[in-house]
Structure 1
Amino acid sequence: MDPVLVKLALGGIAFLVCIGLLFGIGLALAAQKFAVETNPKVEEVLEVLAGAQCGGCGYAGCEGYAEAVVNDPEVSPNLCFPGKAAVAEAVAEITGKKLSGAANMVAAVRCSRIEGKVGQKYKYLGYQTCAGANLAFGGPQECAYACLGFGDCVAACPFGAITLDNSFPVIDVEKCVGCGSCVRTCPKNVIEITPSSARVWVPCSTKDPGKAVRSVCEVGCITCKMCIKACPAGAVRVEGDLIRIDHKKCADYGVECKEICVEKCPRNIFRPFEAAVKKAEQVEAVA
C-alpha cells in the first residue's frame, strides 16, 4: 500500500477521533451546566402515590403530578384520587402543604332515565358509542340531557368500576376512586364526582323548564326550588339551571337537613345519597 495513502488514512482517523472527543467534552460540559436538580421529595411523593397512572390529577401520569405538587405551591396534595385520603395526608406531610377537603370521592350518575321511563325519539343505527350518538341530533333519548347508555364511561374507567345494567351505567363504589375519567368521557355531562359521605343528591341533569321535563320523564327535576326554600343549611342552589348541593354545608348542619329537603321535593328526585350501596339500588329496572 502506498505510504502516502496510509498517512492520509491515519490522519483522517485521528481527525475524526479529535472531533469526537471535542463533541463529547462539549456535551458533558453542557449537560453539567444545564442540569436540572431533582428535588428528592419528588421521589418520596412518587413512592406514596397509588401508581394508577389514571390522569385523574390532571397531569401526565404519577411522575408529572409528583413534580408539580413538590415544585408548585399552588398544586393541592389531595389530587391522587386512587390513593384517597391516606395518600393525600402522606403527600401533604412530605410537601409541607396544608391539607383540606381530602374526602373520598366517587362518581355518581345524575340521570334517572330508566326510572323516569324516558322514551326514544328515533332508533339510532350509527356507531354504538355515546360520542357517536350525541352527534346525531343529541342522541335518541327524548330527554336532551339523558344518559345515552352506550357505555363510553365503562370503556374509559381504568378501574373497572362501571358496568351497564339495562343500558344504564352503574357505579361500583368499592372500585370507584373518583378519578374523573368517566366524567371527562361523558358527552352529556351526567356523571359527577361526589363525596362518598354526601347525604343527598339529585339524580337528574336536565336544564329544561318543568313543563318540558314532565312531558318526557316521570321523575325529572322541574327546578321548582322547593328544596332551596326548605334547606335549613342553605346548602342547595340553582347554578346554570341545574340544582347544586354544597355537601360540606349539608354535612355540617346535621342529619335533619337531609330529611327536610328530601321530604319537600314534589317529584321525589331529591334523595339520600346511598354511596355505600354497591349495586344498582340507584336504578330500578322498569319492565
Structure 2
Amino acid sequence: MPEKPEHAGPATGGDRRGLRADCENCFALCCVAPAFSASVDFAIDKHAGQACPNLGSDFRCGVHARLRPLGFRGCTVYDCFGAGQKVSQVTFGGQDWRRAPRTAKQMFAVFPIMRDLHELLWYLTEALTLRPARPLHGELGLALEEVERLTRGAPGDLGHVDVAACRREVNALLLRVSELVRAEVRHRRKDHRGADLIGARLGGADLRGANLRGAYLIGADLRGADLRTADLIGADLRDADLGGADLTGSIFLIQSQLDAARGDAETRLPPSLTRPAHW
C-alpha cells in the first residue's frame, strides 16, 4: 500500500487541499463511474461503470483541451471535491481497477458516496471560517469530524452510509450558519429559496444577504449584481451572466457553479475559488 498522500487527511481549519481534485492520484473515476446521456452537456451516451471512449490507458482524458468544442461541457463543470483520489489511494489502497478488476464494481459504487461526503466537508469547512457562525463552531467541528470518520471507512462500510440522512443533518446546521451570516446585513434580505428565476433580469440587483438556496437562476442576468453574503448553496447558475457581479463574501458557492455560469474579468470572486478559463 502506498504512503498515505498529504491530501488524504481531514479538512479542518479552512484547509481544503484534500477537497480539491487531484487527478494525478485518481484512477479517472469520474470518467467511468457516472452515467450520462447525449445532451447539451455530453456528446454521447455512456452507461455507469463504462469507461468514456476518450479515456486513455494512462487514465488521462485524450481530449481534455477540447472538451467544450467537442460537446463535453458537462465534464468541465464536474467537481469530485477530492473524492477521486481518496477512493483511489486511501479506500482502495492504490489498487488500479484495471489491474485489479475485482475491485471495479465496488470502487465505482463507493465513488459517488465519497463525493457527496466530501461536498459536505467542503461546506462544513467553509462554515468554520465564518466569523458570525462562531457560536456554532463546536457543533460544526463535531459534524465535520463525523463526516470525515465516515470517509475513512472500508469499502463495505462506505457502501452502507445513509448519505441522505447525513445531508439532512448537515444541512440543518448549515441553515443556522446561513441565518447568522445573513443577519449581519441590515437592510431587508430577499428570500428566493428554491425560486424559479430562470432568465430573470437581475442586473445590478442588491442581493446582499439574500437566500438563494436551491434557486433556479439558469440563464439569469446577474450582471453587476451585489451578491455579497448571499447564500448560494445549490443554486443553479447554468449560463447565468455574472459579468461584473460581486460574489466576494457569498456563502456556500462552489467551483462547479462558477464553471457552469458566464462571467468576465470584472466578476469578483471569493478567494477560495478560481476564475473559469472559459470566461
TM-score, scaled relative to structure 2 = 0.30
Higher relative contact order (CA 8 A, sep 6+): 1
Greater strand content: 1
